[in-house]
């Protein structure tokens, strides 16, 4: 491909993204703007909840655990009430977005320009990912990897058009995987911690990090990894820790795990289970709703969270075994392991949303030219993710109406989202089978 064509395609991808910065995205964009406004206007100190001193006094007075029922800071913004339920790294990113918007409009009105400020960090994340993919291989393969990410319609739809922030944490996750492939274990540990303190899905890199670091390095390196990871965590938490507000932001890290809904718009086995419950109780061929875990447990007679945890642990162990059996010199198995973990979580966990396979789409281009099924895996994962995002949010607020989306879903009689959830089961089985059958590099078979 000529240099002119490459520059044209890169410029096209950039212009499409810039045009989308001002879009209204999903309702989550409003949540992000509320957090950004609160952080920029009043600071981040108490954005999660009370001070450590207050929580200690409360625990001593009531005789219960220090971390039991930590009060959440609630704040109003444009007629809604909000609280923060994401890790501190994401709050710092949104604080910067809020400060940027305040420089333009000190009163911080809820305009399209605020959307652009919120979407700027994901744009920078996408640029970083494209740059790392370009550097991951010399010549044509590097450019191919870059373009398969940069021009992927589902990536562009997610960020900026729907306003997802995943490419911010995804840039750290990709950098961690590349560092691990290069045997830079301490750097990988630092980047995994940073990714996890931006988005909880960063924890999905931990099984791969643990297997590779433990089998390839010495105890001295393990200690260095722990110390570096702790230092990065301390640095990100410092805006709270230095002011006596450490417990509340740590509680914010676990809040996404306390959701009471069953796979809210995550097209997985629990989405199918929610459909079966709705069909059994209402009859007919309904549009699958988001159901509560409590309602499902009352109907089924068992807690889906326990079953989900067991299934996810088994899938994680299987993934770790595949990685442990791979030759140490074959670095392809490192990104493959993370991709499998992302898909296993997205298929089996109850706290899954429609965007939770985005990390796999950001990592799979790294395998183009190195793993023969990479193109198929990227195409199928991208198609599944596009369907998930489209059924959840269409093309964004002010563009598509949800009644149109529901009509499309019911055009197949059986809710199309349930069909896609079933196909996700097939896709995950295919991915595990492809990885299990992968021969070491240089093998004659």
Per-residue pLDDT of 130-183, as tens digits, reads: 999 999 999 999 999 999 999 999 999 999 999 999 999 999 999 999 999 999
- By the 8 A CB rule, do 270 and 304 touch? yes
Whether the per-residue pLDDT at 305 is higher than 50: the answer is: yes
Question: Residue 444's pLDDT is what?
Answer: 35
Mean pLDDT on 252-280: 92
Cα separation, 198 vs 89, in Å, equals: 4
Question: Residue 445's pLDDT is what?
Answer: 31
Please report, for the chain, the start and end positions of each structural domain, with discontinuous segments joined by +: 1-253, 259-439
Cα separation, 48 vs 30, in Å, equals: 18
> How many other C-beta atoms lie within 10 A of the C-beta of residue 292?
15
Q: Which pTM value belongs to this model?
A: 0.96
Mean pLDDT on 388-399: 95
Looking at every residue in the chain, the average pLDDT score rounds to 95
Phi first, then psi, for residue 77 (nearest 5°) are -155, 120
Summarised one tens digit per residue, pLDDT across range 184-243 is: 999 999 999 999 999 999 999 999 999 999 999 999 999 999 999 999 999 999 999 999
Whole-number Cα distances in Å, 430 to 25, 172, 362? 32, 27, 19
Mean pLDDT on 266-295: 95
Indicate the pLDDT class of residue 442, thresholds 50, 70 and 90.
Answer: low
List alpha helices for 303-395, DSSP H. 304-325, 333-348, 358-363, 374-393
Mean pLDDT on 308-335: 97
% of the chain exceeding 90 in pLDDT: 92
Mean pLDDT on 291-310: 97
């Amino acid at each position: 491909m000529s240099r002119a064509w490459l520059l044209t395609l890169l410029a096209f991808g950039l212009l499409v993204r810039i045009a989308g910065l001002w879009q209204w995205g999903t309702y989550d964009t409003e949540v992000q703007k509320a957090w950004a406004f609160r952080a920029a206007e009043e600071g981040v100190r108490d954005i999660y909840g009370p001070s450590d001193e207050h929580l200690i006094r409360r625990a001593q007075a009531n005789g219960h655990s220090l971390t039991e029922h930590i009060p959440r800071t609630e704040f109003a913004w444009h007629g809604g009430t909000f609280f923060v339920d994401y890790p501190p790294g994401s709050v710092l990113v949104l604080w910067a977005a809020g400060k940027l918007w305040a420089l333009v409009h000190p009163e911080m009105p809820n305009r399209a320009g605020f959307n652009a400020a919120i979407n700027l960090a994901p744009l920078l994340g996408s640029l970083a990912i494209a740059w790392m993919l370009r550097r991951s291989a010399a010549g044509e393969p590097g450019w191919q990897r870059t373009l398969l990410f940069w021009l992927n319609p589902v990536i562009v739809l997610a960020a900026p058009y729907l306003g997802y922030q995943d490419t911010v944490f995804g840039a750290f996750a990709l950098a961690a995987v590349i560092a691990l492939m290069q045997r830079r274990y301490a750097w990988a540990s630092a980047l995994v911690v940073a990714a996890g303190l931006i988005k909880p899905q960063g924890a999905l890199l931990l099984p791969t990090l643990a297997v590779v670091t433990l089998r390839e390095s010495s105890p001295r390196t393990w200690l260095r990894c722990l110390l570096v990871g702790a230092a990065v965590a301390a640095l990100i938490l410092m805006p709270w820790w230095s002011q006596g507000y450490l417990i509340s932001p740590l509680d914010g890290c676990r809040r996404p795990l306390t959701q009471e809904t069953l796979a809210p718009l995550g097209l997985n086995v629990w989405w199918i289970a929610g459909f079966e419950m709705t069909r059994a109780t209402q009859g007919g061929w309904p549009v699958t709703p988001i159901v509560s875990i409590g309602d499902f447990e009352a109907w089924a007679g068992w807690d889906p969270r326990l079953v989900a945890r067991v299934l996810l642990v088994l899938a994680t162990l299987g993934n770790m075994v595949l990685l442990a059996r791979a030759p140490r010199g074959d670095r392809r198995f490192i990104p493959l392991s993370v991709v499998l973990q992302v898909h296993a979580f997205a298929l089996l966990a109850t706290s899954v949303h429609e965007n939770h396979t985005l990390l796999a789409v950001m990592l799979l281009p790294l395998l183009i030219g190195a793993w023969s099924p990479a193109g198929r895996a990227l195409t199928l994962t991208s198609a599944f993710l596009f369907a998930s995002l489209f059924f959840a949010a269409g093309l964004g607020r002010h563009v598509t109406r949800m009644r149109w989306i529901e009509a499309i879903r019911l055009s197949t009689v059986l809710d199309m989202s349930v069909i896609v959830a079933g196909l996700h089961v097939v896709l995950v089985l295919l991915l595990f089978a492809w990885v299990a059958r992968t021969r070491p590099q240089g093998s004659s078979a």
